[in-house]
Amino acid sequence: MLMTRGILRRSQALIKLSDPAPTRLVSCRNLSLGTRLPGPGADKKYKSEEERDNEAKKKKQKVIQTAILGGALVGTLWGYLSYQNKKKDEAIANDDLVKQYLLNEAPPKFKPAREIKSAVGKPQDIKITLFQYQTCPFCCKARAFLDYFGLSYDVIEVNSVLRKEVKWSKYKKVPIVVVEAGDKVIQVNDSTVIVSALYSLLVDSSGTELDKIMDCYPTIKYVDDGVEKSEIQNKYFLMYNEAKVQRSKEDIVEERKWRKWVDEELVHSLSPNVYRTPTEALAAFQWFSKVGCWEEIFSAWERNLVIYMGAGVMWLLSKRLKKRHNLKDDVRQSLYDQCNFWMKTLSKKGTPFLGGASPNLADLAVYGALTAVEGCEAFQDARDNTKIGDWFDSMKAAVKRREGSSIL
């Protein structure tokens, strides 16, 4: 036995243990002389059946406990993440009937597609975020305004399939502008209200805050033919409190009339024209994809789906839109008519812009809406067949130079 101990102390031995387990290599280098060596098949690892049963029971209990604990942890984590996700998706508007534009908190943060810097050196005291589709005429209209006046703003490109960037909003269209002013978060819906409210804010010299201005544009809900509809009051009106600009009443009324014309007439001639044929519709969607940087906001399959399905659906829909908006059989003719109507007004006025020597809000609205189709065959045809091109290029230059920033 001692000898055995001695041999064991110096060597590694292959010991065939009494249990039916396979032959194991046992290291005995650390055994001390004082250690009581159990006999063959009775070393420390030997366990009676009862002990093994107990151990197995304990192991089983441990596994069950770990499973319960793990399950509880995973469940809690899952619940927490779902809650966070749901919270992200929940509308954050306040439910009061008045001041619905005041949000309880800022919308969730998304990576801006672009961050437009202010045209003037001084910091802007409000943070503006525009939720948009790059080639939606209403969004283009809002952008033309923001750019002309040299405002600083972040652009959040909305994924038109999942629309996750606007899940927080009760209003389901774009553009939406969110203005963070001090501790207030103000949601401004509708391109026309965005322009009217922000312009009123820019020209006000008495320090009126945006929320007071927003009170002038209440939304009323009504039921028409069993369908619930809503309308924003006064949206073409500018709220001149103590304005920095002196304008005649005629000038203001004329500007209002043309801004309305853009929303009610001009934009409706665009879709039937850009989606006139399947080829034109596809080319239009490919251009939208390019300028809207769809590669960044859509996965490859989503982008192709939007391009091909979108083109098909819009081509079909354009026939209905043509009828609904009483366009001529040759829809191009209707587009030319609109361009000629606008250009005739300018030529009667004898000034480069409707606003005179510089653009007013109507010029910006017409220009903005047309930029939505700038890269389409329809617009090229309009340039070739009407005089819209020169005016459009002058507008583009004025917006690029951010000429309106002189009032900031």
Ligand X SMILES: N[C@@H](CCC(=O)N[C@@H](CS)C(=O)NCC(=O)O)C(=O)O
Which spans of this chain sit near ligand X (rule: CB under 6 A)? 133, 136, 138, 160, 172-175, 190-192
Instruction: Decide whether 133 or 148 has the Cβ nearer to ligand X.
Output: 133
- In whole angstroms, the minimum distance from the beta carbon of 407 to ligand X comes to 23
CB of 265 to ligand X, least distance (A): 14
Q: Is 136 labeled as catalytic in the residue annotation?
A: yes
d(CA 172, CA 189): 9
Query: Are residues 26 and 13 in contact, defined by beta-carbon separation less than 8 angstroms?
Result: yes
Looking up tokens 């110096």 gives 10
Q: Are 189 and 218 in contact (CB under 8 A)?
A: no
Confirm if 354 and 345 have CB atoms less than 8 A apart.
Answer: yes
The DSSP secondary structure of 112-148, one letter per residue, reads -SEEEPPSSSSPPSSEEEEEE-TT-HHHHHHHHHHHH
H helix intervals, 169-248 = 191-203, 210-214
Spatial neighbors of 57 by CB under 8 A, at least 6 apart, are: none
Which one of 138, 236, 285, 288 is the catalytic residue? Answer: 138
Q: What tokens appear for 238 in the block? A: 């500018």
Cα 134 from chain centre: 11
Active site residue 285: no
Closest Cα partner for 335 from 259, 397, 275, 283? 275
Instruction: List the beta bridge partners of residue 184.
Output: 181
* Given the residues 101, 131, 136, 140, the one annotated as active site: 136
Q: Say how far residue 69 (Cα) sits from the centre of its chain.
A: 39
Query: Which candidate in 46, 101, 110, 139 is catalytic?
Result: 139
Of 231 and 295, CB closest to ligand X: 231
Q: Min. distance of Cβ 97 from ligand X in angstroms?
A: 21
Residues in the chain, total? 408
For ligand X, the closer of residues 160 and 333 by Cβ is: 160
Q: How far is the CB of 406 from ligand X (least distance, A)?
A: 27
Task: For residue 139, indicate whether it is catalytic.
Answer: yes
Q: Which is nearer to ligand X, 136 or 388 (CB)?
A: 136
Q: Based on the residue annotation, tell me whether 140 is a catalytic residue of this protein.
A: no
Q: CB 133 → ligand X: shortest distance, Å? A: 6
Whichever of 133 and 275 has its CB closer to ligand X, that residue is 133
Going across the sheet that includes 184-189, the strands are 102-103, 184-189, 176-181, 127-132, 153-157, 114-116
**Complex with ligand X: residue 5 or 256, whichever CB lies closer:** 256
Residue by residue, what is the 3-state secondary structure of 373-389? CCCCHHHHHHHHHCCHH
Task: List active site positions.
Answer: 133, 136, 138-139
